[in-house]
Amino acid sequence: MSLKRISNELERLCTVKDLFVYEVPVGHLREVYPVITEYTRTSTESRHMGDYEFYRARAVHPEANGSSFHIWHNQVSVVICHQSKCVKFGPTGQLLMHKQGIGLGPALMANVIEWLTKQDVAAYTINPGSLSEVDARTDTAREQRNRFYIAFGFALSNYDQSRTGIDVIGGTFTAECVGDLFVPERYQNRLKTWFGFESELRHEREYGVNCLAELKLLDRWTRSASCLGRWILKQLGWPALFQTRHMHKLKRWEPQPPKTRDK
């Protein structure tokens, strides 16, 4: 049975292993992508009659149908056959990310390779995987796609072996053995564990709530000042706009303000 078919079957057997978060800055905001890793292993006594391992890292997809996760996109996987001593990267089609250009693909690939290199399979061979033609519609996109694979130690070639490396348009990615793969320093630790992310988020939120409460106290104070008082503050270099945030209805997560006597 081919590793491609084995991979398809193992996808249905794997269970969630860990939860991560991938963050990417967008202007002064941050987009957050939940990422799960999944794993399963079969033995020669199982119905698959083989010793296989399957590991996958996949991120949520906004356009997935009926699920938070797309059946093919936003994922990188690997299946290990301990009988033939070879591995194959997936998904079974091509690696496709949404959205592109945010570093999600390198983050997922880095996670999978980090896991794979800890499994004592450095001598195992690697079955070729297909390069995504969607990522090669322009010369710039093709070069970016090829540099992505080369950065992790993969070798690229056309199907007829007429081109290799950065110039490959359609073809495959592979390596002589798992030991040739590595994770560049720039791609390491891009995924945050959920517990680490949750701890940071909790502290950021507490700090933000306290800062907003302080700003509302300032708004209340400047609101109660006379026009002359505000003019004097401006002349002295008051750094903020005079706003009325203290008059807005409190959100459920905001603390009650201290009672003060307005003028």
- In tens, the pLDDT along 69-80 reads 988 899 999 999
Burial class (CB in 10 A: 0-12, 13-18, 19+), 169: middle
Edge to edge, the sheet with strand 125-127 lists 125-127, 86-90, 75-81, 52-59, 29-42, 15-26, 192-193
What value does the mean pLDDT take over residues 214-229?
78
What value does the mean pLDDT take over residues 139-149?
92
pLDDT at 261 over 60: no
Four-point Cα dihedral 44, 36, 57, 103, nearest 10 = -170
pLDDT computed for residue 263 by the predictor: 46
Apex CA 232: angle with CA 227 and CA 234, to 5°? Answer: 95
Task: Report the C-alpha gap between 40 and 76 in whole angstroms.
Answer: 15
What value does the mean pLDDT take over residues 120-137?
90
* Alpha carbon 85 to its chain's center: 29
What value does the mean pLDDT take over residues 169-177?
92
- Choose the weakest-confidence range: 62-66, 148-152, 204-208, 222-226: 222-226
- Beta strands 125-127 and 86-90, pairing class: parallel
The three-class DSSP label of residue 210 is helix
Q: What is the pTM of this model?
A: 0.82
Task: Report the C-alpha gap between 242 and 153 in whole angstroms.
Answer: 57
Cis bond leading into 239, ω under 30°? no
**Comparing 219 with 128, which gets the higher pLDDT?**
128
Task: Report the C-alpha gap between 174 and 194 in whole angstroms.
Answer: 32
pLDDT computed for residue 59 by the predictor: 96
